[in-house]
Structure 1
Amino acid sequence: MGKKILVIMIAAVVLGCAPKTQQPETAKTGRELTPQAQVTYHYLKSLDYQAAGDHEKAALALEKALVLGPSVRLYQDLAREYLRQGEKQKAVDILQDATGIYPRTPELYFQMAEFYLVKGDRSGAVKALEKYKDLVPEDLDVYEDLAAFYIEMRDYAGAVDLLQEIPPDEMTPEMHYYMGRAKSELGEKTDAVAYLDKAVQARPGFMQAWAEKAFIYEQERDYLQAERIYQQLLKMGERSPDLILRIVELNLLLNDPERAVAMFGKGPDEVRFQLDMVNQFIRNEFYEHADILLQDIAAESDYPDTMYFYFALIAYEGRNDPQLALDYLSRISKEDSYHLQALSFRVQILFHEKNYQEALELSRKGQELHPGEDRVHLFEAIVLEAMEEYQEARKVLEKALEKWPGQTDFLFRKGVVLDKSGKTEKSLQIMEEIIALDQEHHEALNYVGYTLADQDRDLDRAMILIKRALELDPGNGYYIDSLAWVYYRQGSYEKAWEEILAAVEQVDDEAVIWEHYGDIAKALGKREHALHGYEKALELDPENPEHLREQRAKVKDMPENESAKAGP
């Protein structure tokens, strides 16, 4: 049987039994065709046009077929042709019309949901499926799809409410899985694990449910249970690199590096993956194990220069040997994908070693080798700033801003340089500009908040800005110090004391923070604490040693637990 005849027979079955409507112009075939034959003719013409890539004519042919004999399949194909032409809304409208004729046909609603997603309209997709659910509540398939949509849209309560409509004995493994995910996101971890248990009991090979259960244990810091589940997934045949890396990470968190090392040969035999694993050991400060693994990789493969980057990390972080780290980094060729990272690391090491001249020269060389990278220009400005070459630093930043206008890192450094140059108000204007561009730039938020507090003005706004900075970067000792300083300026000395204690726990090598510690202790009449704060500040090369000595002298004459007048 010829292929074309077979297609005609299939089309006749699919498109047959259609109600008669007004007839379009009959196809010219030499004899009068029946309406059903004309439907088949126009449908086949649409296939020819589709094959030729002419979707406009394909749609016209399908429209003619629809007039002669409407069917679900024709509506679906016509909608798809309009979607291919980029007419997304028209495609959805066609399916909407079809649901008016065939209201209990699930394919139409699922296709409509799919098209809404193509439009980027998730809520439209959900509404389409909800409409079908309301019409045909006995069709449980739609509940699974709707639950998936609700979770994707982060409507976890909606997913729970939806799935609770299903009788418990009719819940599918997928439904238990989605219920578990939703419960987990709502913070109901015990219930979540119970639902996931039901999912894997009903389908032992349900890997997504196992993985979600392990993830919950990780969130609850039950690393042992999580690791056991991941090992079980490994035995079930799952071999994804991400799974291997999760097992390694959990064993390192469990302080079992030997068990983590045992996973080395179970992943892909690829250097990139092996280096990712080495990096996990470095991040968790198992430097000796990382070094052994690197040596094994180097012995068994034609390794890339990237290897030296990891040797440098071990030398710098694990052995406190900056010179050895610099030596390793210098071996990475400019052709290697890690060259820019290596150059950045070298600048960082030189900067921390206060070898500013070499750091400056290297950052300028980086601009020649990587002209499109903004970070090397930023390095130059930061080094010049450390060298107190503020005018030169500002020139570098302004030139960079011509190339990368509105780049907030450059704007922030410019603001800092202006501040260090004594141009506080201009600096404040720059920081306000940054906040206008990026309301989550926590460094600028803290800067403006602290400056306002230091100037003892607009303290309510200062508090709002600093608290927002801490929301974005919790535990930042400098930001906690800023918060303490706002409380101090407001006269809330007990709150200020609580925050400054937290600040020095995070940052104990900053003179200004210890000065604040002394000022707050002095305001509370804590003589010994105040003396300790000022003395610590004097040890840390402060900008205002004379002022600190004066404050220390005043405190020495102050009786313990007698509140002194606040302020310098």
Structure 2
Amino acid sequence: MPYPAPVLVCSTLALAALTGCALQAPAAAPPAAQVATSSSAPAAPASAPPEAAATPKAVASPPLQSGLSARLMYELLVGEMSFDLGDPQQGAAYLLDAARRANDEAVYQRATEMAIQSRAGPAALEAVRAWRQAFPQSLQATRFELQVLLALGRVSETATPVKTLLDALPATEKISFIAALPALYQRVANKDEALQAVETALADAQKDPALAPVAWTTVGRLRLQQGDRTGALVAATLGLNAGPESQWPALLALQLFSGTGENQAEPLIKRYLAGAEAKPEIQLDYVRALLERGRRADAQTELTALVTRWPQYPDGWLLQGLLAADDRHDAPAEQSLKHYLDMLKEQAEQPGDVRAAGRNQAELTLARIAARRGDDATAKKWLDQIDSPEQLLAAQVERANLLARQGRLDEARQAIQAVPERDPDDARLKLLAETQLLRENGQAQQALRLLNAALKQSPDDDALLYDAAMAAERLNRTDEMERLLRRVIKLKPDSAQAYNALGYSLADRGVRLPEAKSLIEKAVQLAPDDAYIQDSLGWVEFRQGQLGRAQRTLQAAFDKRPDAEIAAHLGEVLWALGERDSALSTWREGLRLDPNNQTLTKTLKRLQVTP
């Protein structure tokens, strides 16, 4: 690991520590007589000449005594020279010997640093343990020992330095130290040893009411790293029992609920949120976890409770606006997003304010809402306010969509092409945005041509292959589409979207239905909460004549993700079941969500229905 070296008057940090010389350049060179003065210099003669007698007036105190012997100086200089010349192990050995002779903590630290830099684990451990033996109260030595032990994989020996550090820290720092331990042990290969060491170190903390919640949370996170979800859940429960108002067990419960799908963690989250000291950030993360699980109605309920309980918390209004816009409830979405922006204006911005990303996200969504109602001028006004480099491409894509709707497709493409490229992947992202624009505006042939040219340079790019398959499908070149999607599946076996797209294409054409269902079921395994994949499953069930099962599947997908295409499929199944009123109601909702959706409009035209 690199160690930045300060600019020293002395040749080394160790030399500075021993001699007491300055860490900055002196204002002027001292008189030669002073430079010569040291602990071994002879005393000045009594009969000094008058000129010499006047010189000491510049030095009011006796000269600084140095413990630097010739041998120590030699070891320090040779150690540093060895390090500089590429032999850090030899340098560390010289410095360690010097540290023992001088009994100087700074030299021990330098010896340890050299050994670490040379990747000489045993030498580093020898140096740091000599340091600790010489200075048993040194927290810095203990920190270095912990670092070296972890690097050497001697995890079982880390309990003592962890406990030593914890006991020595002030009360205000203990919680953050305990919370940081899982990250410290994250890369340890032997997770069992890591858990045992930390549990040993935290045994007393688990009995301390002030530390028990975070101590149990840390143990639970380590159990989760070990793959023990049940043990992590037990730790979260014990942590919450120890401190119902503490956020730490709730965060662990959230990690279990959102990351592993542990449903038994949800009551712990709700129990924490019912407390008077609950934080809005926890409830917001809970809302996001519910959305990821496809529980949209529950997420909306929690979000409403959040903005009611904490009306001054801006991020709640942002998510409420984004969710409403996603459901095409444009009026309440606008209201929430504008309220969010007004709240940001009332709060003083700071350099590097992370809220800039949220502000740009709100402005981009407001632009899309304005564009949906045909107000291009307002949409452009919102887009012009976006200033984040990360959102620049998204903003230009929206500008391109505005131009394309006005029939100015060439200008729309130029708008995307003009976006500056900040890193090598930006050119690829711009190409994907441009080809999607072409595909959605009746230029699938041109899109496929651009994608094929790019694939000659990057034949294994799964995103390019997938988009090329979608363009081929628009051109009814189903054999080419299938070839491209199978290539994606071969390159990326966990691509749920590729399995789903191929299976849906077969189902929609009513061919090879057993294979279609098998492909879609594989996609469901890979992405069980994806409403669009569930829509495909319901559609293939409908094609196979399983109307009741198809209705249940499609209704669950639509409840999870209101969408015009899912509405088209669900409405058709309801129509086939004779539930005409329900079908018409579903189609009307689909038209509200997206009146231009091709699947929905084609379905209504084919069935000769006007909802």
Q: Assess same fold via TM > 0.5.
A: yes
Offset at residue 130 of structure 1 (A): 0.5
Given candidates 150, 163, 179, the residue that maps to 2:216 is 179
Work out whether residues 370 and 378 of structure 2, in 8 Å CA contact, stay in contact via their aligned partners in 1. no
**Residue 519 of structure 2 is aligned to residue 467 of structure 1:** no
CA–CA separation in structure 1 for the residues paired with 2:17 and 2:475: 84
Summarize the alignment of residues 347-366 of structure 1 with structure 2, pairs less than 5 Å apart: 347-348=400-401, 355=405, 357-358=407-408, 361-366=411-416
Question: What CA deviation, in whole Å up to 9, does each residue of 1:398-427 have, x standing for no partner?
Answer: 344456664433321210111232322221
> Counterpart of 1:313?
365
> Counterpart of 2:399?
346
CA–CA separation in structure 2 for the residues paired with 1:174 and 1:333: 44
**Residue 592 of structure 2 is aligned to residue 542 of structure 1:** no
Given candidates 348, 353, 378, the residue that maps to 1:325 is 378
> Counterpart of 2:121?
92
Question: What CA deviation, in whole Å up to 9, does each residue of 1:183-206 have, x standing for no partner?
Answer: 476466685365367579xxxxxx
Given candidates 15, 18, 24, the residue that maps to 1:7 is 18
Offset at residue 343 of structure 1 (A): 1.9
Unmatched 5+ residue regions in structure 1? 10-35, 118-123, 201-208, 232-241, 265-275, 553-568
**Residue 248 of structure 2 is aligned to residue 195 of structure 1:** no
> 1:60 and 1:216, CA in 2 relative to 1: closer, same or farther beyond 3 A?
closer
> 1:530 and 1:277, CA in 2 relative to 1: closer, same or farther beyond 3 A?
closer
Offset at residue 82 of structure 1 (A): 4.4
> 1:245 and 1:179, CA in 2 relative to 1: closer, same or farther beyond 3 A?
closer
**Residue 446 of structure 2 is aligned to residue 392 of structure 1:** yes
> Counterpart of 1:20?
none
CA–CA separation in structure 2 for the residues paired with 1:290 and 1:397: 37
> 1:308 and 1:45, CA in 2 relative to 1: closer, same or farther beyond 3 A?
closer
CA–CA separation in structure 2 for the residues paired with 1:326 and 1:138: 58
> Counterpart of 1:40?
72
- Which has the higher mean CA deviation after the structures are superposed, 156-165 or 371-380? 156-165
Letter in 2 for 1:178: A
Cα RMSD after superposing both structures? 5.9
Summarize the alignment of residues 97-496 of structure 1 with structure 2, pairs less than 5 Å apart: 111=144, 113-115=146-148, 127-131=153-157, 133=159, 148=182, 152=186, 171=207, 177-183=214-220, 186=229, 192=236, 194-195=238-239, 198=242, 210-213=246-249, 215=251, 220-221=269-270, 224-225=273-274, 228-230=277-279, 253-255=303-305, 257=307, 260=310, 262=312, 279-280=318-319, 282-283=321-322, 287-288=334-335, 290-291=337-338, 294=341, 310=362, 313-314=365-366, 316-317=368-369, 321-323=373-375, 324-329=377-382, 331-332=384-385, 339-348=392-401, 355=405, 357-358=407-408, 361-370=411-420, 372-401=426-455, 406-451=460-505, 454-456=511-513, 458=515, 461-471=518-528, 474-476=529-531, 478-485=532-539, 487=541, 495-496=549-550
Work out whether residues 8 and 40 of structure 1, in 8 Å CA contact, stay in contact via their aligned partners in 2. no
Percentage identity across paired residues of the two chains = 14
CA–CA separation in structure 2 for the residues paired with 1:229 and 1:309: 27
Q: TM-score when scaled to structure 2?
A: 0.56
Q: Matched residue of 2:564: which SS?
A: coil
Q: Matched residue of 2:533: which SS?
A: helix
Work out whether residues 350 and 356 of structure 1, in 8 Å CA contact, stay in contact via their aligned partners in 2. yes
- Which has the higher mean CA deviation after the structures are superposed, 420-429 or 283-292? 283-292
Question: What CA deviation, in whole Å up to 9, does each residue of 1:114-153 have, x standing for no partner?
Answer: 2576xxxxxx56x4231355x9999796996996368636
CA–CA separation in structure 2 for the residues paired with 1:302 and 1:129: 44
**Residue 133 of structure 2 is aligned to residue 80 of structure 1:** no
Offset at residue 363 of structure 1 (A): 2.9
- Which has the higher mean CA deviation after the structures are superposed, 213-222 or 367-376? 213-222
> 1:545 and 1:404, CA in 2 relative to 1: closer, same or farther beyond 3 A?
same
Work out whether residues 436 and 447 of structure 2, in 8 Å CA contact, stay in contact via their aligned partners in 1. yes
Q: TM-score when scaled to structure 1?
A: 0.60
Offset at residue 328 of structure 1 (A): 1.2
Work out whether residues 62 and 78 of structure 1, in 8 Å CA contact, stay in contact via their aligned partners in 2. yes
Work out whether residues 147 and 178 of structure 1, in 8 Å CA contact, stay in contact via their aligned partners in 2. no
Offset at residue 169 of structure 1 (A): 8.0
Larger relative contact order (Cα-Cα within 8 Å, sequence gap ≥ 6) = 2
Question: What CA deviation, in whole Å up to 9, does each residue of 1:308-349 have, x standing for no partner?
Answer: 984563465489644153231464599987543322223356
> 1:102 and 1:460, CA in 2 relative to 1: closer, same or farther beyond 3 A?
farther
Offset at residue 367 of structure 1 (A): 0.5
CA–CA separation in structure 2 for the residues paired with 1:248 and 1:532: 31
CA–CA separation in structure 2 for the residues paired with 1:532 and 1:322: 29
> Counterpart of 1:60?
90
CA–CA separation in structure 1 for the residues paired with 2:389 and 2:516: 51
Q: Matched residue of 1:228: which SS?
A: coil
CA–CA separation in structure 1 for the residues paired with 2:339 and 2:349: 17
> 1:426 and 1:509, CA in 2 relative to 1: closer, same or farther beyond 3 A?
same
> 1:480 and 1:387, CA in 2 relative to 1: closer, same or farther beyond 3 A?
same
> 1:314 and 1:59, CA in 2 relative to 1: closer, same or farther beyond 3 A?
same
CA–CA separation in structure 2 for the residues paired with 1:446 and 1:145: 41
> 1:132 and 1:197, CA in 2 relative to 1: closer, same or farther beyond 3 A?
same
